[in-house]
């Protein structure tokens, strides 16, 4: 039996070697191509509904690259998308801030057509702005708005924008986290920060993506791409020039829609408030501490304001808003701003080592101060 197996192995080896030599001999003498050509892609090939290619193809005509230039000639590039058929474009405040006072704005569509635009309203705290095309084309197609409250971690995302000026760029990823507290700055236009309870995505987002849409797997807008975590910096913001490391943040569209409606209606943002100043330090992680001294000559707790009516006092540490854990002042602000004036929220706070809960009806502040 062993001898038979050995003989078979020798024969198989010999056959294999012979075939190998034959193939090598033919290859030396063959000058023809050995590649295999794929069938031609049909000119009328239709991408499957729900595919990234189909969603991108449908959305790109409604996304614009925004060029903003200040009166002194300084400028930058960002992104926006068609909000309605009247020519309103939704974007970030930090994209258009340089052109807000006597500057120039230009919106370029994916087909290359350019339109002059003007600022309708800005909300520095939300980092949301609405601009309007001066000569509105009649074939505008607003992007459909989704429901950011129903987004789940792991959902597919598609980001469209102009990273580093490369217009009409499409990237994909997933929702990495929800309700991520993010503080960002416009990089020097006003020196003021914006606060958001953001959608986090690993879709590649870079400077120039700011103001562009973050789409879900159906092609509906679920957020406005606004900030990144740069690899070379400890801060958050969209103004740095480092590349994406998979940490991008978007303003939930439900919040952005409310802000846009207010800006279109009055030109001014409206912020929900509790009527108390809180520390903006984020190091402790123990909660949001109501300041013992107000800014300037203001009281730390507004007399007869929501916090005052609820019995809150300077030094109280707010640890939860409804079911959301509050680890800092910026987190509290971001969570409050997901609501509207008049909403009732439950605050959990600590005073003298004891925990208390109280219902607070949010007040309002008009405009950026």
Tokens 């129903």 identify what position? 150
Backbone angles phi, psi at 64, to 5 degrees: -120, 150
Active-site annotation holds for 40? no
Question: Token digits for 122?
Answer: 């800005």
**Which of 127, 177, 180, 152 lies closest to 327 in space, CA to CA?**
180
**Which of 198, 214, 221 lies closest to 127 in space, CA to CA?**
198
> Partners of 276 in the beta sheet?
301
Active-site annotation holds for 343? no
Q: Which of 62, 88, 94, 148 is catalytic?
A: 94
Q: Which of 210, 226, 244, 328 is catalytic?
A: 210
Q: Which of 62, 127, 279, 291 is catalytic?
A: 127
Active-site annotation holds for 210? yes
- 143 Cβ contact partners less than 8 Å away, ≥ 6 residues apart: 59, 62, 63, 81, 82, 83, 213, 215, 219, 220, 221
- Active-site residues, by number, are 94, 127, 210
């Amino acid at each position: 039996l062993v001898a038979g197996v050995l003989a078979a192995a020798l024969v198989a080896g010999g056959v294999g070697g012979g075939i190998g030599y034959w193939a090598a001999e033919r290859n030396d003498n063959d000058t023809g191509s050995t590649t295999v050509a794929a069938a031609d892609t049909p000119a009328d090939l239709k991408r499957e509904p729900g595919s990234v290619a189909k969603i991108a193809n449908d959305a790109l005509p409604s996304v614009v690259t925004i060029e903003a230039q200040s009166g002194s000639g300084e400028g930058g590039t960002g992104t926006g998308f068609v909000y309605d058929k009247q020519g309103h474009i939704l974007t970030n405040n930090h994209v258009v801030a340089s052109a807000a006072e006597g500057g120039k704005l230009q919106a370029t569509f994916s087909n290359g057509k350019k339109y002059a635009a003007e600022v309708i309203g800005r909300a520095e705290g939300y980092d949301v702005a609405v601009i309007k095309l001066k000569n509105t084309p009649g074939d505008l197609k607003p992007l459909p708005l989704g429901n950011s409250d129903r987004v789940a971690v792991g959902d597919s995302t598609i980001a469209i924008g102009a990273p580093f000026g490369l217009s009409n760029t499409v990237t994909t990823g997933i929702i990495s986290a929800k309700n991520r507290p993010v503080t960002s700055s416009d990089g020097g236009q006003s020196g003021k920060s914006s606060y958001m309870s953001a959608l986090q995505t690993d879709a590649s987002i870079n400077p120039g993506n700011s103001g562009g849409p973050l789409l879900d797997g159906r092609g509906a807008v679920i957020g406005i791409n606004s900030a990144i975590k740069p690899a070379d910096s400890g801060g958050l913001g969209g103004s740095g020039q480092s590349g994406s490391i998979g940490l991008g943040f978007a303003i939930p569209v439900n919040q952005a829609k409310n802000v846009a409606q207010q800006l279109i209606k009055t030109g001014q943002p409206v912020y929900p408030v509790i009527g108390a100043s809180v520390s903006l330090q984020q190091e402790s992680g123990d909660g949001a501490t109501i300041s013992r001294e107000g800014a300037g000559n203001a009281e730390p707790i507004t007399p007869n304001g929501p916090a005052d009516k609820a019995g809150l006092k300077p030094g109280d540490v707010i640890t939860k808003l409804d079911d959301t854990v509050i680890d800092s002042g910026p987190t509290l602000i971001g969570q409050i701003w997901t609501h509207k004036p008049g909403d009732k929220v439950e605050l959990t706070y600590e005073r003298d080592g004891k925990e208390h809960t109280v219902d607070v009806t949010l007040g309002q502040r008009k405009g950026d101060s």
